[in-house]
Amino acid sequence: MTIFVTGGAGFIGANFVIDWLAAGHEPVVNLDKLTYAGNLENLVSLKGNKKHVFVQGDICDQGLVEKLLAEHQPRAVINFAAESHVDRSIHAPEDFIQTNIVGTFRLLEAVRAQFAKMNDAQKSAFRFLHVSTDEVYGSLSLTDPAFAETKRYEPNSPYSASKAASDHLVRAYHHTYGLPVVTTNCSNNYGPYQFPEKLIPLIIHNALVGKPLPIYGDGQQIRDWLYVGDHCSAIRAVLERGRLGEVYNIGGDNERANLDTVKALCAILDIARPRSDCKAYADQMTFVNDRPGHDRRYAIDARKIIAEVGWRPAETPESGFHKTVKWYLDNDAWVKNVTSGTYRNWVAQQYQ
Ligand code: NAD
Ligand code: DAU
């Protein structure tokens, strides 16, 4: 048996594949387009591992996906592939529509064709797990309850709207065609291999190279942070024990205002790698123009996955932040490679 992962050279997908194989599970076929966010260096620890088959390709290429599914006959498909950065979706939404909506549709069509060829035992064992985001639910006020699975979808960015559309397609393929799907909607992740366009790796990187630490607006937007390894363990648990057609929200009960997150990272860096002038990294914080349509608060109500699936996060916010800072300090060659070339163009455009 194998599993088929899409987007497994990106941040969460790579962590998932590495953890999956480290735990001794089945081989993985990993389909990734290798966009700017996909990086084979994330998978370097799997070099020579016969249980990892990497294929460079696009989920929009239905023929390729059909061929791979027929060849490898996976017992599960886990869809991580997406355009994932909100700010990029504001500058250039087209790729988000293509990959997140059209790509999910093509992938579902390919899976539906393969599912139709399975025998009853294969059908009952098969799962399509769609990895989605809490951003589909929109924005909360300070007094609103956290996002439950029953919360109405109110996406506010081209990114979240495209993910919302993909979630609806996945739901429709279950109800219309009986495809055995489960969807997970997770809060903000952080950890190893995250591309430094996202807040936490961007702050660590900028701090270390002496650049400003850009805080959008008043810095009081709240995010509910979860260590990536805990997201991956939740996906494994839902794959094993999630009920068909259900949605599971995933979160670590770790709501923080962005300003507090940045200050916490600066404080860890002050001890782990003090500035040569002995000043505080927090001195580099700079307030910049806000993100258009910036969601104020996300918060996850994770009671369903805890009660039904028996999942809980292993990391506390403190342990997760410390681990992450240490990883970026220990992996400066990885950071140097991903922050060369086109990364510079993005930073120049976004923070000019
Ligand atoms: P990422 O941007 O780091 O990685 C995305 C990966 O998908 C890259 O390797 C990229 O090359 C690949 N990809 C993009 N378009 C593709 C296509 N058309 N065909 C095949 N591969 C393609 O993203 P991430 O942060 O790892 O997020 C993974 C998934 O998890 C996404 O679906 C995202 O919406 C979801 N998610 C992310 C977070 C988060 O905090 N990062 C939280 C919740 C959910
Ligand atoms: O909630 C889950 C989502 O989390 C995922 O679906 C997305 O793929 C992922 O990118 C993330 O979205 P956010 O927009 O919340 O993450 P980002 O790291 O871009 O920003 C986190 C917060 O920090 C957000 O309120 C914007 C703010 N920010 C971000 C950047 C890049 C800043 O203040 N300054 C910055 O330079």
pLDDT band at residue 342 under the 50/70/90 scheme? confident
pLDDT range class, residue 344, cuts 50, 70, 90: confident
11 lines ligand 1 (CB under 6 A): yes
The answer to whether 118 touches 101, Cβ cutoff 8 Å, is no
Asked if the structure places residue 331 within a domain, the reply is no
User: The tokens of 61 are what?
Assistant: 């290429």
Q: Classify residue 300: in a domain, yes or no.
A: yes
Q: Which ligand is nearest to the CA of 289?
A: 2
CA 259 / ligand 2 centre spacing (Å):
13
Does the reported pTM lie above 0.85?
yes
Q: Looking at the predicted structure, is the pLDDT value of residue 49 above 90? A: yes
Asked if residue 287 has its Cβ within 6 Å of ligand 2, the reply is: no
Query: Mean of the per-residue pLDDT values for the chain?
Result: 97
Calculate how far, in angstroms, residue 298's C-alpha sits from the geometric centre of ligand 2: 11
Q: Look at phi and psi of residue 113 and say left if phi exceeds 0, alpha if psi is from -120 to 50, else beta.
A: alpha
pLDDT of the residue at 286:
98
Task: Verify whether ligand 2 is closer than 6 Å to residue 249 (CB atom).
Answer: no
Residues in the chain: 352
Q: What is the pLDDT of residues 76-121, one digit of tens each?
A: 999 999 999 999 999 999 999 999 999 999 999 999 999 999 999 9
> Of the bound ligands, which one is closest to the alpha carbon of residue 250?
1
Phi, psi for 57 (deg, rounded to 5) = 180, 170
How far does residue 86's CA lie from ligand 2's centre (Å)? 7
213: pLDDT strictly greater than 90: yes
**Any bridge partners for residue 316, and if so which?**
none
CATH number, residue 163: 3.40.50.720
The yes-or-no answer on residue 318 being catalytic is no
Cβ–ligand 1 distance for 252 under 6 Å, the answer no
Position 70 scores a pLDDT of 98
Would 288 be classed as within a structural domain? no
Could you tell me which residues come within 8 angstroms of residue 36 by beta carbon, excluding any fewer than 6 positions away? 195, 342, 343, 346
Closest-CA residue, ligand 1 atom 5, reads: 10
pLDDT for the residue numbered 352: 79
Percent of the chain, pLDDT > 70?
Answer: 100
Residue 255 known to be catalytic = no
Predicted pLDDT of residue 165: 99
Looking at the chain, the whole-number percentage of residues with pLDDT higher than 90 is 98
Ligand 1 pocket residue status of 37, Cβ below 6 Å: yes
Q: Find tokens 């939740």 and name the residue.
A: 234
Nearest to 266 by CA among 284, 283, 282, 286: 282
Q: Considering every ligand atom, which ligand is closest to the CA of 300?
A: 2
Residue 167: CB within 6 Å of ligand 1?
no
Atom of ligand 1 nearest to the CA of 194: 3
Residue of the nearest CA to atom 15 in ligand 1? 82
Residue 97 lies in a domain: yes
Q: What is the spatial distance between Cα 32 and Cα 34, in angstroms, rounded to a whole number?
A: 5
Pick from 123, 107, 106: which is nearest to 115 by CA? 123
Number of domains in the chain: 1
Q: Tell me the average pLDDT across 63-85.
A: 98
Distance separating alpha carbons of residues 330 and 333, to the nearest angstrom: 9
Residue among 12, 18, 231 to mutate when testing ligand 1 (max atoms within 8 A of CB): 12
Supply the angle between the helices 317-330 and 199-208 in degrees, to the nearest 10. Answer: 50
Residue 276 lies in a domain: no
What is the DSSP annotation of 187-217?
--EESTT--TTSHHHHHHHHHHTT--EEEET
Instruction: Tell how far the Cα of 220 is from the centroid of ligand 1, in angstroms.
Output: 26
Give the number of other Cβ atoms within 10 Å of residue 31's Cβ. 27
Domain, as residue range, for 171: 3-192+226-254+294-314
Report how far ligand 2's centroid is from the alpha carbon of 275 (Å). Answer: 26
- pLDDT of 39 > 90? The answer is yes
* Residue 208 covered by a domain: no
84 Cβ below 6 A of ligand 2: yes
Ligand 2 center–CA 253 separation, angstroms: 17
Decide if 41 is catalytic: no
| Cβ pair 43, 54 in contact under 8 A | yes
User: Per residue in 280-312, pLDDT tens?
Assistant: 999 999 999 999 999 999 999 999 999 999 999
Query: Is 226 exposed, middle or buried, given 0-12, 13-18 or 19+ CB atoms closer than 10 A?
Result: buried
Are 238 and 149 within 8 A, CB to CB?
no
Mean pLDDT score, 208-222: 98
What confidence score (pLDDT) does residue 338 get?
A: 94
221 domain-assigned: no
Choosing from 84, 101, 105, 202 the residue with most ligand 1 atoms within 8 A of its CB, the one to mutate for a pocket test is 84
Structure tokens at 58: 């696009």
pLDDT level of residue 44 (50, 70, 90 thresholds):
very high
Q: Residues 260-281: what's their mean pLDDT?
A: 98
Nearest ligand to the CA atom of 132? 1
Q: Cα(271)–Cα(280) distance, rounded to whole angstroms?
A: 10
Q: Within a domain: residue 282?
A: no
